[in-house]
Amino acid sequence: MKTNTLIFFTIILVVISCQKNNTLKNKSIQDIVFQGKYLGEGCASVIQVTEPSLKGIGLKPAETRWGMPLENRDTIYDNAVAAGVIPEAYKDGETFYFTVSRIDTVGFILDYCSTPKFSFVIKSISPNKLTIENNK
């Protein structure tokens, strides 16, 4: 009987200690403050997410690469997502902060304009992280 109890608690301890850290995956996407910068235009504005890692929210790195259309295809950006319309004030290449209401998969890819596989629907955007955090 004691042996079975010991084995049971050992198994529980192993299971608990081997769980992945899914902090970002378990967090609601609407609660995450992202940092990014404007990259350019495809079929929509494209931004590069610099924090947190898109891998941390379940997006595979190979699926978040993007190259500018009709330009040098040798330049490939990682962690790139479509973002609809970005206000002109944020198109200066400087980092900004934003929250999203959802992440969509882009359903169309056209030859004449490059679009990342995922699209962030931006809920709020600011040059200041504190402003975003206070408005959540």
Residue 119 and residue 50: Cα distance in Å, rounded? 15
Q: Which helix (H) or strand (E) holds 5?
A: helix 2-17
pLDDT tens-digit profile of 10-69? 333 333 333 333 334 446 888 899 999 999 887 789 999 999 989 888 898 888 988 865
Residue 126 counted as domain residue: yes
Residue 133 and residue 115: Cα distance in Å, rounded? 29
Answer yes or no: pTM beyond 0.75.
no
Residue 66 and residue 62: Cα distance in Å, rounded? 10
Residue 53 counted as domain residue: yes
Residue 20 counted as domain residue: no
Residue 4 counted as domain residue: no
pLDDT tens-digit profile of 63-90? 898 886 555 567 788 999 999 889 999 9
Residue 39 counted as domain residue: yes
Domain of 85? 30-134
Residue 24 counted as domain residue: no
Residue 78 counted as domain residue: yes
Residue 62 and residue 29: Cα distance in Å, rounded? 21
Residue 104 and residue 101: Cα distance in Å, rounded? 10
Judge residue 101's burial from the number of C-beta atoms within 10 Å of its C-beta, 0-12 exposed, 13-18 middle, 19 or more buried. Answer: exposed
Q: How far is CA 25 from the centre of its chain?
A: 11
Q: Which residues pair with 45 in a beta bridge?
A: 41
Residue 48 and residue 64: Cα distance in Å, rounded? 9
Query: How many separate domains does the chain show?
Result: 1
CB neighbours (10 Å) of residue 80? 26
